[in-house]
Structure 1
Amino acid sequence: MDNDSFNKPSNDLIGDILKEYSKTGGMDNLKGAGKPISEEYLTGDIFQHFQKIAKDAGYKPHWLKLQHEIRDELHDIAKNYLNGEKEGLQFRVTKVNDKIMQYNKACPPPMQKGLVRLETIDSAASRW
């Protein structure tokens, strides 16, 4: 077996993108460039550090965006239901339940929530 079989070229798409971005000057004025890395980032759990950095950068996970969409939609449906406007609300509840199922697949298990019904929409809106 020759050594060339171990050194086959690979596709490093992210590496290629970063090299190209760096060539065009995209890496020149990054926040914190040239400063030492905090000791906090070099100790402890890597995943927790990633979450902290992502949060500091303003990243929101998909499930959190879904949670906000569901909450807003439930409040709007509850308001319409209490005002007596029942036209099309059952269809909207069905669509919200689809989003809740997506949310439950993506969020941490302790944060999962049950499906909602039109008859109990007010209490469901307050839970979200």
Structure 2
Amino acid sequence: MDNLKGQGKPLPADYFSGDLFQHFQKIAKDAGFKPHWLKLQHAIRDELKDITEKYTNGQKDGLQFRVTKLNEKIMEYNKSCPPPMQKGTVRLETIEAASQRW
């Protein structure tokens, strides 16, 4: 803890003004931290892309199980993301449209 960046220097004045949560978000973003819901969003998008490719190529074995697991991830995502960004679950029949939304 002795070799921290900025050790011994005073904190900037903007650290003491405004909302504490906004400051936390700014510091976390500057440090490269990604919220859990954003990581989930990327994982869901990648899984949707893979399922869509297999569905359009006619490889439908096991896809319904994968869609069920994907919907569980979507539910977890909806619990942790901001309300305007929440999305509905997907069905195998509408997987292509869902892939475009994500």
What is the TM-score when the length of structure 2 is the normalising length? 0.95
- 1:91 Cα offset (Å): 0.6
The residue type equivalent to 1:66 in the other structure is L
**What pairs with 1:1-128 in structure 2 (closer than 5 Å)?**
27-128=1-102
Distance in 2 separating the partners of 1:41 and 1:61 = 21
Structure number with greater Rg is 1
- 1:57 Cα offset (Å): 1.1
- 1:61 Cα offset (Å): 1.2
Paired-residue identity, %: 75
The residue type equivalent to 2:48 in the other structure is L
The residue type equivalent to 2:50 in the other structure is D
Please give the root-mean-square deviation of Cα atoms over the aligned residues, in Å: 0.9
After TM superposition, the runs of 4+ consecutive aligned structure 1 residues lying more than 6 A away are: none
Q: Counterpart in 2 of 1:21?
A: none
Gaps of 5+ in 1: 1-26
Distance in 2 separating the partners of 1:54 and 1:101 = 25
Highest relative contact order (Cα 8 Å, sep 6+), 1 or 2?
A: 2
Distance in 1 separating the partners of 2:8 and 2:58 = 62
